[in-house]
């Protein structure tokens, strides 16, 4: 279809117009192949699989066109409740996570408890009562031809199950809407929309700060959360929800539903027990709502710790890929950016934690990044990020928070996120309070060299994002320059002055020469200067001397001037001369720092070398490999002849001891 061009488009338009006019649905459009995707838990339990229906592609395009018309009618008439954010334009999970978190935190600050009920609907899409759906569509303004075409599209459906490459016979589907059809989310929204009205009718819910707004419940597709200011009020909401699901033939998964009491009085704990019909509902301290851990103490630390642990586990599972020396580094970086980082950033607009959990979260990304480069865990995070051209997770969260603020500024006054953001909350609660989102955002603005009011007035979301991205990138560059200047071990990285960005020398697989160059650049190489950075109190300065007698065996000395590697250096200079005679003259005229930069970086060559930079880089890697091999052989010989148990790499009575590992 994509490559059919105008001819294909004209044929499809003719077909769709005919289907619309005749109100006839081709039988192939109503047939689907169900593929089961495992979620989690026991693989022998059918309930732990999600069935996805693969439908006819031509039919799906027609459904997309039909869905656009239906959504247009619903949005124009404001038929869908403000409390429903699922699969609607300019709305998402963050809307509800932010709203719930802000209400709970605000009420805690005011010294008020919040009672929450999280409802899990069992097989929601698969159990939609179709006759009830037709009634709801008519009620919300979907009538006439559109109603009839919709009914034809969804009433006579058939499915077959694909398992291990084999397809079952087709069988009739008499209820539900297919998961995989673009119409299904909208149809389900219409079907369940009255739930919010029913719940609000029995209890007004919780008041939002100093506003006149109260929130009884919210929906994201089939995920419902009810909120009340009393235990009895919450039970009334639960009973109303139970009556609604019974009437419309939906079932609740009581085992996965829960009640959470936030800001409970510890001296007078709530003894109330909530029930769904005759079944008791579990009372929990935290609940995963739309992928985010909501805690009763209003803190995000538990969520961040959980995300960090999952991130580290994911990096561990992907270790064979990230550490594969035959794979191009860019491919491994893509795995990091697309598989490991997104879950670590999910809903970062909303949450923030203490320094400990923030560090844990950052460690999850750095574990994968250091595996890609073959670095040890002690390697500077700033240097590793600069080599790969990635930013800290903090920068990502900060950008998301400011973008979320910008989006809320553009929301209508009826939108819940904007209401809870602008609401004023009384501060009557003493003691330690959860991190205030507004305060966090204020600190983010202060940390960026950019004006808040002026930036928020930027025309268009994309323009705003670009400004924030530039400001965050500049802050990362400043932090890198500061660390390179102040942090021991990053002196050489500071000399390179290459900034943050994927380095050209990393293109291709991570061979031994490339890995060695990374270690020299980041300070992760096993010279005695590294031992000196982690020295113990009883180690003396001369234990870190170079075998040639220089005061310290550091990278600048070894690469640029150490007489022990004169032979390797002469070979390097000779090969430089073969590329271009002026390159040799340039190198020999430079001082020790400039020579080090020339071998480890490309700044000294950019203006003169041009197209030869790739060859010079390859030559530098070869030089480092020969140098390091020479060092290992020399120290190994010294180790075999040394019997005085000298510290690693130290010369005692003219004999060298055991070599440091890279």
Higher-confidence residue: 265 or 194? 194
DSSP-derived 3-state class of residue 260: strand
State which H helix or E strand residue 344 sits in.
helix 341-345
Do both 318 and 284 map to the same domain?
A: no
pLDDT band of 639, cuts 50, 70, 90: low
**pTM, entire model:** 0.87
309 and 284 share a domain? no
Give the confidence band of 657 by pLDDT, cuts at 50, 70, 90. Answer: very low
8 Å CB contact between 586 and 593: no
How many C-beta atoms surround the C-beta of residue 42 within 10 A?
8
| C-alpha span between 364 and 316 (Å, rounded) | 10
Distance between CA atoms of 194 and 350, rounded to whole angstroms?
28
| pLDDT (mean) for 413-434 | 81
The pLDDT confidence band at residue 165, using thresholds 50, 70 and 90, is: confident
The answer to whether residues 314 and 340 touch, using CB atoms and an 8 Å cutoff, is: yes
Q: Any idea what DSSP says for residue 658?
A: P
Average pLDDT in the 647-656 region? 38
Q: Looking at residue 647, what is its pLDDT?
A: 37
Six token digits for residue 154: 């969804």
Label residue 530 by pLDDT band (50, 70, 90): confident
- Band (pLDDT 50/70/90 cuts) for residue 638 is low
pLDDT (0 to 100) of residue 652 = 36
**Domain boundary, last residue among 472, 487, 502:** 487
List the structure tokens of 324: 């594969």
Structural domain ending residue among the three candidates 270, 295, 320: 295
Q: What is the pLDDT of residue 660?
A: 40
DSSP reduced 3-state for 461: helix
pLDDT exceeds cutoff 60 at 627: yes
The string of pLDDT tens digits covering residues 291-327 is 999 999 888 999 999 999 999 999 999 999 999 999 9
Torsion angle defined by CA atoms of residues 595, 601, 602 and 605, in that order, rounded to the nearest 10 degrees: 0
Given a cut of 70, is residue 642 above it in pLDDT? no
pLDDT at 62: 94
Please tell me the predicted confidence (pLDDT) of residue 644: 37
> Same domain, yes or no, for 350 and 235?
no
Higher pLDDT, 121 or 662: 121
Average pLDDT over the chain reads 90
Does residue 1 register a pLDDT over 50? yes
| pLDDT tens digits for range 457-513 | 998 999 999 999 999 999 999 999 999 988 888 989 999 999 999 999 999 999 999
- 164 and 306 inside one domain: no
Mean pLDDT of 112-124: 94
Enumerate the H helices of 159-230 as residue ranges.
184-192, 194-202
Span 544-572, average pLDDT: 93
Rounded Cα gap, residues 358 and 356, in angstroms? 5
Would you say 296 and 285 are in contact if contact means Cβ atoms under 8 Å apart? yes
Where does a domain end: 459, 487, 515? Answer: 487
Do residues 535 and 628 both lie within one domain?
Answer: yes
pLDDT (0 to 100) of residue 45: 87
Please state, for a pLDDT cut of 90, what percent of the chain lies above it. Answer: 72
Do 402 and 531 sit in the same domain of this protein?
Answer: no
Grouping H, G, I as helix, E, B as strand and the rest as coil, residue 459 is: coil
The yes-or-no verdict on residue 551 having pLDDT over 90 is: no
595 pLDDT tier (thresholds 50, 70, 90) = very high
One domain, residues 328 and 272: no
Q: Could you give the C-alpha distances from 130 to 127, 154, 180, in angstroms and in order? A: 9, 9, 17
* Mean pLDDT lowest among 247-256, 530-539, 644-653: 644-653
Residue 261 lies in a domain: yes
The pLDDT value recorded for residue 39 is 86
Chain centroid, CA 297 distance in Å: 24
What is the β-pairing status of strands 121-122 and 251-252?
A: antiparallel
Q: Which two tokens stand for residue 148?
A: 């009839």
286 & 306 share domain: no
Q: Give domain status of residue 498, yes or no.
A: no
Q: Is residue 513 in a domain?
A: no
The mean pLDDT value for 438-447 works out to: 92
Both 581 and 483 in one domain: the answer is: no
Residue-level pLDDT at 448? 92
Mean pLDDT, residues 363-382:
94
Residues 155 and 279 in one domain: yes
| pLDDT tens for each residue of 75-107 | 988 899 999 999 999 999 999 999 999 999 999
Residue 430: what pLDDT?
58
118 phi and psi angles, rounded to 5 deg: -105, 120
470, 500 contact by CB (below 8 A):
no
How much is the pLDDT for 661?
Answer: 41
Pairwise CA distance, residues 280 & 301, whole Å: 29
Token duo for residue 111? 């010294």
Residue 464 vs residues 42, 161, 316, 402: alpha-carbon distances, Å: 46, 47, 36, 9
Residue 416's contacts (CB-CB under 8 Å, 6 or more residues apart) are: 82, 83, 95, 99, 213, 215, 218
- At residue 651, the pLDDT reads 40
Tell me how many domains the chain contains: 3
Question: Which residues, 6 or more positions from 570, have their beta carbon under 8 angstroms from its beta carbon?
Answer: none
223 and 270 share one domain? yes
Domain-located, residue 509: no
Distance set, CA 211 to CA 333, 377, 447 (Å): 47, 50, 31
Q: What is the pLDDT of residue 431?
A: 56
DSSP state of 219: E
**Does residue 501 lie in a domain region?**
no
* CB < 8 Å & 24+ apart, contacts of 408-413: 409/456
**Domain hosting residue 583, numbered range:** 525-656
Are 279 and 314 in the same domain? no
Position 616 in a domain: yes
**Do 492 and 596 meet the contact criterion of CB atoms below 8 Å apart?**
yes
The pLDDT assigned to 71 comes to 94
Mean pLDDT across the stretch 555-578? 95
- CA 353 – CA 435 distance, rounded (Å): 7
- pLDDT average, residue stretch 584-611: 90
């Amino acid at each position: 279809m994509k490559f059919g061009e105008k001819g294909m488009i004209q044929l499809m338009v003719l077909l769709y117009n005919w289907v619309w006019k005749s109100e006839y649905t081709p039988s192939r459009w109503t047939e689907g192949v169900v593929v089961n995707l495992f979620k989690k838990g026991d693989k022998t339990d059918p309930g732990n699989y999600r069935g996805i229906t693969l439908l006819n592609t031509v039919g799906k395009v027609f459904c997309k066109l039909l869905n656009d018309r239906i959504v247009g009618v619903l949005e124009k008439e404001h038929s869908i409740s403000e409390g429903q954010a699922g699969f609607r334009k300019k709305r998402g999970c963050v809307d509800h996570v932010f709203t719930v978190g802000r209400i709970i935190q605000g009420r805690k600050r005011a010294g008020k408890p919040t009672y929450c009920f999280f409802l899990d609907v069992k097989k929601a899409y698969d159990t939609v009562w179709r006759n009830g759906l037709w009634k709801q569509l008519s009620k919300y303004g979907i009538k006439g031809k559109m109603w009839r075409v919709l009914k034809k599209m969804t009433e006579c459906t058939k499915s077959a199950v694909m398992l291990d490459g084999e397809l079952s016979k087709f069988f009739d589907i008499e209820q539900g809407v297919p998961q995989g059809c673009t119409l299904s989310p909208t149809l389900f929204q219409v079907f369940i929309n009255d739930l919010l009205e029913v719940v609000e009718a029995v209890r007004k819910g919780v008041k939002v700060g100093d506003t006149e707004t109260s929130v009884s419940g919210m929906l994201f597709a089939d995920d419902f959360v009810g909120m009340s200011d009393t235990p009895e009020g919450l039970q009334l909401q639960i009973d109303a929800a139970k009556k609604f699901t019974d009437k419309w033939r939906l079932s609740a998964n009581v085992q996965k539903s829960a009640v959470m009491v936030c800001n409970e009085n510890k001296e007078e704990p709530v003894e109330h027990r909530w029930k769904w019909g005759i079944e008791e509902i579990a009372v929990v301290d935290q609940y995963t709502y739309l992928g985010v851990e909501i805690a009763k103490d209003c803190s995000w630390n538990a969520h961040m710790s959980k995300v960090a642990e999952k991130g580290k586990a994911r990096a561990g599972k992907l270790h064979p890929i990230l550490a594969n020396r035959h794979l191009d580094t860019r491919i491994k970086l893509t795995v990091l950016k697309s598989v490991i980082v997104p879950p670590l950033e999910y809903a970062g607009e909303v949450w923030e934690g203490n320094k400990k959990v923030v560090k844990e979260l950052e460690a999850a990304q750095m574990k994968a990044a250091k595996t890609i480069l073959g670095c040890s865990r002690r390697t500077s995070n700033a240097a590793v990020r600069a080599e790969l051209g990635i930013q800290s997770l903090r920068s990502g969260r900060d950008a998301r928070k400011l973008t979320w603020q910008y989006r809320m500024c553009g929301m209508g006054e009826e939108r819940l996120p904007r209401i809870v953001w602008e609401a004023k909350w009384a501060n009557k609660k003493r003691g330690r309070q959860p991190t205030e989102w507004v305060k966090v955002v204020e600190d983010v603005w202060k940390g960026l060299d950019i004006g808040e009011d002026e930036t928020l007035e930027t025309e268009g979301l994309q323009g705003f994002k670009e400004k924030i991205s530039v400001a965050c990138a500049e802050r990362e560059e400043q932090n890198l320059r500061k660390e390179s200047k102040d942090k021991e071990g990053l002196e050489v990285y500071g000399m390179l002055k290459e900034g943050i960005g994927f380095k050209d020398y990393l293109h291709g697989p991570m061979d031994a020469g490339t890995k060695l160059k990374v270690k020299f650049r980041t300070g992760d190489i096993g010279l005695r200067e590294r031992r000196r950075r982690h020295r113990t109190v009883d180690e003396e300065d001369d234990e870190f001397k170079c075998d040639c007698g220089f005061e310290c065996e550091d990278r600048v000395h070894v690469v640029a001037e150490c007489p022990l590697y004169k032979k390797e250096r002469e070979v390097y200079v000779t090969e430089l001369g073969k590329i271009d005679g002026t390159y040799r003259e340039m190198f020999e005229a430079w001082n020790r720092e400039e020579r080090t930069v020339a071998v480890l970086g490309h700044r000294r060559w950019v203006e003169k070398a041009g197209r030869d930079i790739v060859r010079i880089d390859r030559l530098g890697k070869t030089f480092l490999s020969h140098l390091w091999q020479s060092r290992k052989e020399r120290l190994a010989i010294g180790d075999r002849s040394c019997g005085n148990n000298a510290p690693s790499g130290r010369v005692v009575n003219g004999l060298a001891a055991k070599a440091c590992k890279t």
